[in-house]
Chain A
């Protein structure tokens, strides 16, 4: 796959505060790339540099083969959903999208066709004439997404996109994005502090205090940093004494106990060895939250 974004040694500071500190990464065509980090980690600053809203202090940013300073070359191919909706609450959904579609040179027919597709996929057809300000938070977020996709961009940037969305809307949104990735090779860059969203990414970059602290596929990261957990739900009465004797640490969970292992093989070996004691158990991979905790010492779920 081609690299659509290449960032090398990016630095950005606001006065004394360093927002981005030597960040380097690349994003491939059609990839779902997740930027995972706590609030203030530097995710939004990086995104704003990527779309030319902010100027980097140093470093190289290449988007679709063009330096980021060449905004007129890259912006027709980028769609962005901002952290906070920036559309006009007093205008109708239709007007909001129509006026912005014209800025990308769309003809009326192209606009009508794209709007029809997106509004039907996101179930917005019935509310196109309603003022944006009268819609629910979830509906507004879907309109933000339509606005970002109306010109059929090659790269979609989602800055904390599904904050406050109900599960059904989240499913609709991700269903559409999955289809566009498959059919149109849409590249999606996602900034989030939701583990669940980062888990579905092809590639995850963990960012903390403006620095890349870990990167890889979710599975790689989990294997490298989160380990595996053996969750025993039913076991012999003397199993806990055995763990005590062998000085194996465990944590009580809701319906049993949880023992952490470095990898799946070690967990399976332990389970096989102690199968006489354990009646009901499962081996699960650690979450991205565990990865983040291990790498940064911070809990994502606290955000």
Chain B
């Protein structure tokens, strides 16, 4: 057991060090979502502000509250996608496989599942470091434009970052378990970066999509993670709105901006969203461990 812990620790530290040894890797991982946030703020913020103003009609709303709400919505979009895309684009496992560096570990007396888990944990930790750095930047941004989060909201956002990143890391490493191809990896990375934001409702509210697409997104665990981010980034601002706007209007904003989410017409409670995201992460972990053990029993054909 002590030997297994020592081996796992060595592999984990090596994987993490390898990722952060190149400062550009961390920088690019962080700068990409920041650029996305800047683009969102530049091009989309006024659209969402107009949408809210249209919903409230003749009622008025404080500028700071409006900015705090739209800022929270845009930043929750970026954070929801980053937890996934950073995982998929920062894997040491696939880089090792492409370079054949994993062969050097396969000829050591370390069970394959330990090697695979070390890749997965390093991927998760590197994703969390990038996402927490991003979260800090986002909270600073919200503090400037309008901050309506409670401490509990921030802590629950952190829990959601942990769960979503864990799900993404398990899924990414599970996929990499079956390929050694640079082309396949680039394809997956591009596909996830381009698609995920749309299909999990991060780039545009799910409520504004067609019914078929809404039903499809309801089947993806990532959607529930996005909904959780929406909830904790926006609920404070919505509560504040309840002081100056009629409740049906605020409820309309909740529905229109995915703070309330419906599964085939039924409202999904928050605990259910947590269970779905946590369940998906646990399912991925079990699948990943199972595949690693099975692959460890078989040498390459």
Contact = CB atoms under 8 A, between A and B. Distances in A.
A87 interface: yes
B109 A104 contact: yes
A105 B298 contact: no
Given A82-B104, A90-B21, A91-B18, A72 B299 contact: no
A90 B7 CA distance: 21
Nearest to B102: A86
A55 B300 contact: yes
B27 to A, nearest CB: 15
Contacts of A54: 299-301
A103 B100 contact: no
Given A75-B107, A82-B103, A103 B10 contact: yes
B109 A84 contact: no
A135 to B, nearest CB: 16
A237 B72 CA distance: 101
Contacts of A53: 103, 106-107, 299-300
Interface string B1-22: 0010011011101100110011
A80 B100 CA distance: 14
Contacts of A69: 299
A55 B106 CA distance: 13
Interface stretch (A94-102, A162-170, A212-220, A270-278): A94-102
Contact of B109 (A76, A82, A90, A147): A76
A51 B13 CA distance: 25
B97 to A, nearest CB: 11
Interface residues on B, range: 20 to 34
A147 to B, nearest CB: 8
Interface core residue of B9, B10, B111, B299 (most chain A CB under 10 Å): B299
Contacts of A105: 3, 6-7
Contact of B105 (A72, A91, A98, A103): A103
Contacts of B7: 102-103, 105
B107 A80 contact: yes
Contacts of A147: 104
Nearest to A12: B301
Nearest to B111: A72
A103 B110 contact: yes
A52 interface: yes
B22 A90 contact: yes
A80 B106 CA distance: 11
A46 to B, nearest CB: 14
Contact of A100 (B3, B108, B300): B108
Interface core residue of B103, B104, B106, B301 (most chain A CB under 10 Å): B104
Nearest to B25: A90
B10 A88 contact: no
Given A55-B298, A82-B104, A75 B18 contact: no
B18 A90 contact: yes
B29 to A, nearest CB: 16
Given A53-B299, A75-B109, A95-B17, 6 more contacts: A53-B300, A54-B299, A86-B104, A88-B101, A99-B10, A103-B108
26 contacts: A52-B107, A52-B299, A53-B103, A53-B299, A54-B299, A55-B298, A55-B300, A69-B299, A82-B100, A82-B103, A86-B99, A88-B14, A88-B18, A91-B17, A91-B18, A91-B21, A100-B10, A100-B104, A102-B9, A103-B7, A103-B11, A104-B108, A105-B3, A105-B6, A105-B7, A147-B104
Interface of B: 3, 6-7, 9-11, 13-14, 17-18, 21-22, 99-101, 103-111, 298-301
Closest 5 A/B residue pairs (Cβ): A102-B10, A99-B14, A55-B299, A103-B108, A86-B104
